Structure 1
Amino acid sequence: MTMRDLISGLTQQENLNFLLTNRIPRATLTRFMGWFSKVEQPLIRDLSIACWRLFSDLDLSEAHKTSFKSLHDCFTRELRPGLRPLDFDPAIVVSPCDAIIGAFGKVVDTEVFQIKGAPYSLRDLLGDPALVDAHRNGRFITLRLTSSMYHRFHAPHDCRIERVTFVHGDVWNVNPIALKRVERLFCRNERAVLQTRLPTGEALTLVPVAAILVASIRLHFIDVTLNAQTRGPTIFPCDASVRKGEELGWFEHGSTIILLAPEDFEFCDNVVESARIKVGQPLMRKIAGASACVVDPSEGMEIAAEPAKL
């Protein structure tokens, strides 16, 4: 087989993947999956989980439970305690989720990339000019959760959550094949913008992005599940103080979290594109010499660094 034949074959496979996962009634299929995944009939549940394991690398050995009520219950499973060590060094921002690392780097004014050569604007992603300004020339990283991964996400640092904005949108697949073909994909899909502040007062923003089969995001701190059926306010003011590692919510299948951090942070050595990372592993570090005054966001008291585990 020549190199040309190999490239042609890979391209055809990518085209088929894109066709099967995007050129379909995405919203209808996603609504159906939301209903179907909650069916608790034992035969349907067992066959669904068996098919999922057959076509993915699903590993339930870390799950807290050994049996599940439904496919949805399996999707949103908890882990056994102690499996995700956390670094409580106040200079470190940790990964909020298990993920594959996608595009990351410096925000160029207000521009970031979904993949190399495919830019999008923070204004299109966030919608809030003040928040865009807070992240101008900062840092960004894209964390993609596959369908078989642990789907819960956690606070990457001690912080105060000030507001959640839910943006209605499409449900394109967020795999690398779709990212190469759909411009500004993250800005098109449904997403929640979680505005938080570090104890130093700097902005740290998480953007969980929904995708096909997963247009539903559960947030514990405002006790709401956000999806296409969400009505009423799309802006949820809140005042919730959370500790590093505290569970914030979950996706109901697998998707992406975009994390935006201040300019005075740098990426840790383990951050490499396409590498796998787990909750609690170092993601970014405060640059040496930058202000590092760390106070409890709820009490104004200094936080002692200590190891901990989920």
Structure 2
Amino acid sequence: MIEKLKIIGQYILPKHLVSRLAGKLASAKAGKLTTFLIKQFIAKFKIDMSEAKHSEPGHFKTFNDFFTRELREDVRQVVEGDENIAMPVDGRVSQLGAIKMGRIFQAKGHDFSLRELLGGRDDIAAPFDEGLFATVYLSPKDYHRIHMPITGTLEQLIFIPGDLFSVNPLTAENVPNLFARNERAVAVFSTAIGPMAMVLVGATIVGSIETVWGGTLTANAKKEIQYWDYKDQNISLEKGAEMGRFKLGSTIVALFPKDSVDFTQGLQAGSATRLGELFATTNVTTHAIK
């Protein structure tokens, strides 16, 4: 009964209004109040601040500064070797597997459209049909910067306005088309194994989604899908480099083309993930990106 009430609450909650208010609070420089909230958050979610570059709550001027905190350089090692794909985030695998007939598995009884996830563009979706996907949930305690699994050159960015349902496991099991209905950003890269897409999915009280090359992404007044073409701008990011971040947490969906990679043995729904660890291995002959 409690779980049903939580799901009903997701539908009736004014999610965009709540998220805007949360975003303003999170970006406010409120001095002692900000420090107090950060301390409470650390205690509630048992966050290991020894991994952070700055471990003292008082260092952060806003809650967003704390939430998007940097890690110390020595706490995450990115797997080496051109044949090895690195885990892009700390979190937990929600689902992973094959994209079948243009559909991606969400949870028992639920799947969603690859094409819809990527903003309705057949040309963008086609290379990933029959490929592989991995959906990774970032909980409030996790590190919230997203890094590159493989070296890539940015081709396109799509920002798709939408709902802001929570993306926790309970919601994923009960809200149809969750990841293809929530607000999201899709970054498509060319890589040595072909195209790769990183989908950053927004959620309730997520203050914003940012990319390292374009800053904060926001919906326009008409709530239209926005497309940016980067093919001529030569924006390349090395494996392990930061590519974006969430303010107040969410989910990523990584997409790979057919016959390009194999997920590391033992990785499955429920697996904890750590940035930089082995995510997958290539099964095609790689070549340098020019």
TM-score computed with the length of structure 1 as normaliser: 0.85
Q: Residue in 1 aligned with 2:280?
A: 284
Q: Pick from 80, 85, 90: which aligns with 1:88?
A: 80
1:105 is paired with a residue of what secondary structure? strand
Q: Residue in 1 aligned with 2:109?
A: 117
Q: Following the alignment from structure 2 to structure 1, what is the Cα–Cα distance between the partners of residues 115 and 268?
A: 26
TM-score computed with the length of structure 2 as normaliser: 0.91
Q: Pick from 17, 28, 32: which aligns with 2:17?
A: 28
% same residue? 29
Structure 2 alignment gaps of length 5 or more: none
The one-letter code sitting in structure 2 at the alignment partner of 1:153 is I
1:214, 1:251 within 8 Å by CA — same for their partners in 2?
yes
Q: Pick from 107, 123, 127: which aligns with 1:130?
A: 123
1:1-310 → structure 2 map (5 Å cutoff): 12-19=1-8, 23-65=12-54, 66=56, 67-126=59-118, 127-200=120-193, 202-221=194-213, 223-228=214-219, 234-238=226-230, 239-264=234-259, 265-287=261-283, 291-295=284-288, 297=289, 300=290
> Could you list the per-position Cα deviations for residues 71-105 of structure 1 after superposition, in whole angstroms to 9, with x for gaps in the alignment?
11101100011211111221122111111101110
Q: Following the alignment from structure 2 to structure 1, what is the Cα–Cα distance between the partners of residues 147 and 264?
A: 19
Residue 57 of structure 1: how far off its partner (Å): 2.8
1:215, 1:228 within 8 Å by CA — same for their partners in 2?
no
1:152, 1:249 within 8 Å by CA — same for their partners in 2?
yes
Structure 1 alignment gaps of length 5 or more: 1-11, 301-310
Q: Following the alignment from structure 1 to structure 2, what is the Cα–Cα distance between the partners of residues 203 and 180?
A: 29
Larger radius of gyration: 1
> Could you list the per-position Cα deviations for residues 45-72 of structure 1 after superposition, in whole angstroms to 9, with x for gaps in the alignment?
0221133234323222211113211111
Residue 19 of structure 1: how far off its partner (Å): 4.7
Residue 124 of structure 1: how far off its partner (Å): 1.1
Residue 135 of structure 1: how far off its partner (Å): 0.6
The one-letter code sitting in structure 1 at the alignment partner of 2:3 is E
The one-letter code sitting in structure 1 at the alignment partner of 2:40 is C
Q: Following the alignment from structure 1 to structure 2, what is the Cα–Cα distance between the partners of residues 230 and 151?
A: 28
1:31, 1:213 within 8 Å by CA — same for their partners in 2?
yes
Aligned residues: 281
The one-letter code sitting in structure 2 at the alignment partner of 1:53 is I
1:124 is paired with a residue of what secondary structure? helix
Q: Following the alignment from structure 1 to structure 2, what is the Cα–Cα distance between the partners of residues 230 and 204?
A: 30
Q: Following the alignment from structure 1 to structure 2, what is the Cα–Cα distance between the partners of residues 24 and 95?
A: 33
